[in-house]
Structure 1
Amino acid sequence: MKILGVILAGGQARRMGGGDKGLLPLAGKPILSHVLERLEPQVEAVALNANGDATRFAHYGLPVISDSIDGFAGPLAGVLAGLDWAAEQGADAIVTAAADTPFFPCDLLPVLLLAAELEGTNLALAATPDPERGVSRHPTFGLWPVALREDLRLALEGGLRKVVLWTDTHNAADALFPNWDFDPFFNINTPEDLVVAETILREADA
């Protein structure tokens, strides 16, 4: 299988005062750089899903793909943009990661692939144990087959926005990752979260 990576950075970052969360500094470099370092070794190529002026990401040298669904339709719109790009590259699937989540597992793709294979499907979402719900899914981290892109386009054009409502209709597998001393899918939504992320990195280096 030819699998490409897509970093989802199309959100509006309202709780951070707007702008690009991925470009905020974390331990001396943008959060996006941390994400890219983890995703790039796992895939053949990476694109960035972002809206607006693409030149702000020019120094990364990545393809920048914008949503084809208007109105900030959420992560699924970014997934669709990634699937359309991957189809142009002759790829079979994409794996997505969020631009504000700097610590996700370095074996993201292998675990997603294994979960999909075990469930007899080609679609999987990352998940971690949850004492109350059993598992907590992380819908911006998933394995998405190019073959489902037209189905996803129709769903989005019909008004669907919630990731799991669509993935559940296609029997998506849960790819279970262990919790560490912190949630590996911890994402930076607020200035306070950025402080927490700095602390996590300091303790990891200690």
Structure 2
Amino acid sequence: MRKGPILGAVLAGGRSSRFGSDKAMALLDGRTLLEHAMAGLAPHVTKVMICGREGGLADRPHADMGPLGGLNAALHHALSHEFTGVLTTGCDMPFYPVDLPAALIGDTAAILHGQQLLGWWPATLAFELDAHLGEENSRSIHGWLDRIHARVVKMPELVLPNINRPEDLVALA
């Protein structure tokens, strides 16, 4: 794998339907979940971008594509700005493990077992994701992972909170 700068991408374009309001803006310890996610990625990347929200990278090929639309935007941004690849997290993942990038980054795409948004994506996958999203029923992240034969990294000792409902946030606080 070619060494080079890494782009961090916080995938934040979801509808937050289970949460009931914009969970990226929900507060945990005085900071938004989005701020926590960005701060977690920052030490591991050259630059952090927000995907799928106003002020960030717009989903590609169009809005409302879910996590893959944000990932596609990040991959194309990475490719056009000479980043080697993209480390991703979701806006509902307030903690980013320090040792995760070393386990994920490699020649091929990789995700953390059970947390498909915690991933490593070589920038060269940008046009492959374009093709995937152009097909019918292509919004499933599992279908994408199967298509590109993504590695699944297991770290059984790692337990990460994922905030999907208000009670998840209350339990964490």
SS at the partner of 1:87? Answer: helix
The AA in structure 1 aligned to 2:122 is P
Aligned AA for 1:162? S
Are 2:125 and 1:148 aligned? yes
SS at match of 2:21: coil
Unaligned runs of 5+ in 1: 55-63, 128-136, 199-206
Q: Of the candidates 181, 189, 206, which is equivalent to residue 164 of structure 2?
A: 189
- Indicate whether 1:16 and 2:19 are aligned: yes
Distance 2:129 2:157 in 1: 30
Length, aligned pairs only:
169
Q: Deviations over 1:132-167 (max 9, x none)?
A: xxxxx3111111111111111111011311112122
Matched, 1:123 2:109: yes
The structure whose Rg is larger is 1
Unmatched 5+ stretches in structure 2: none
Give the Cα separation in 2 of the matches to 1:50 and 1:197.
Answer: 25
- What is the CA-CA distance between 1:50 and the residue it aligns to? 2.2
> How many angstroms does 1:18 deviate by?
3.2
Match of 1:106 among 76, 98, 109: 98
Letter in 2 for 1:91: F
| CA positional deviation for 1:188 | 0.8
CA contact (8 A) 1:9 1:22 kept: yes
Q: Which amino acid aligns with 1:42?
A: H
Please give the TM-score of this superposition, normalised by the length of structure 1: 0.76
| Segments ≥4 residues shifted beyond 3 Å | none
Determine which structure has the larger helix proportion and give its number. Answer: 1
1:65-84 to 2 correspondence within 5 Å?
65-84=57-76
The residue number in structure 2 matching 1:161 is 139
- Once the two structures are TM-superposed, the CA of residue 67 in structure 1 deviates from its matched residue by 0.5
2:85–2:121 CA contact under 8 A, matched in 1: yes
Residues 28 and 71 (structure 1), Cα distance of their counterparts in 2 relative to 1, 3 Å cut: closer
Match status 1:41 vs 2:27: no
Distance in 2 (alpha carbons) for counterparts of 1:31 and 1:124: 24
| RMSD, matched Cα | 1.5
